[in-house]
Structure 1
Amino acid sequence: MSAPQTVPGSRRRLVVSGLLLGAGAMGAVDEIVFHQLLHWHHFYDRASGTAGLVSDGLLHAATWSATVAGLALLADLRRRQAFDALAWWGAVLLGAGGFQTWDGVVDHKLLRVHQVRYGVDLTGYDLLWTGGGVLLALVGALLLRRARARPAR
Structure 2
Amino acid sequence: MARTRRSGFLRDFQDFALKGNVVDLAVGVVIGAAFGKIVTSLVENIVMPFVDPLLKVFGSDWRNIAFNATKFDPATKAPLDGVRLGLFLGSIVDFAIIALVLFIAIQAIQKMKRKEEVEAAEAPPEPTVLAQERLTGAIEHLTRTIESRQA
TM-score scaled by length of structure 2: 0.30
Higher helix residue share = 2
TM-score scaled by length of structure 1: 0.30
Relative contact order, higher structure (CA 8 A, sep 6+):
1
